[in-house]
Structure 1
């Protein structure tokens, strides 16, 4: 059922429910180790469900509650409405940087991401499970 909810959320957000689209768009938004084509394909086939940190990124990007992606609409009826606490408002310089970043081609975004991760590691800001910088 998770795969059906993920596909519906992708379509509702204006994306094709294809592994290549999901891999590219997810990795642009996730600051941990990039997910693979095979990994997101398993999400779309219903073979696996992403970890909670990845689920929160998916939910924030697609504009749905994380528990709705994981459990369906019934979870809201049981727990009541939830405030989207993972959304961080951006403005000013951050907004400018994000706008420029989104305008870069995929190769340039990957390079920039690696530069940012390198700075983060140098300042002890990177989660332990983020993987290596090539």
Structure 2
């Protein structure tokens, strides 16, 4: 299966799981009633359902919100969504609060200072030996 056909299957499955028939007319109506941008055509949503196209990220987000599925799961599958959840959980672990605080402080710096800090971090990363705890 191709990436597009796998997406189409996930979209059809999500529509059915949400209680909607997996028909283009339904998808067109429900999507356009939620999307703030230019309406999509019947032909466009038909291509999504047939595995001929994948919607842009903004449209994918609207689909995911409507169908109550994580955007990563809809676009890339459950394994990708699980990987994102694991990273998010790791980031939210209290052991990582000092790192989160440092990243937030880094992001608040002016761009010239962020470049210096980035260069220092990259220099350390190149010279550091990988350890089991870094994995």
Instruction: Give the TM-score category using the shorter length.
Output: 0.5 to 0.7
RMSD: 1.5
Q: CA deviation at 1:79?
A: 2.0
Of 60, 66, 74, the match for 1:61: 66
For structure 1, the 5+ residue unaligned runs are: 84-134
Higher share in helix: 2
Contact 1:15 1:21 in 2 (8 A): yes
User: Which string of whole-angstrom CA distances, capped at 9 and with x for unpartnered residues, describes residues 52-96 of structure 1?
Assistant: 00000000000000010110001023222698xxxxxxxxxxxxx
Q: Do residues 33 (structure 1) and 30 (structure 2) align?
A: no
User: Distance in 2 between the 1:42 and 1:12 partners?
Assistant: 20
Alignment of 1:1-134 (within 5 A): 1-80=6-85
User: Distance in 1 between the 2:42 and 2:11 partners?
Assistant: 15
Number of residue pairs matched? 83
Equivalent position SS for 1:29: coil
Higher Rg: 2
Q: TM-score, normalized by length of structure 2? A: 0.59
Equivalent position SS for 2:21: coil
Structure with the larger RCO, 1 or 2 (CA within 8 Å, 6+ apart): 1
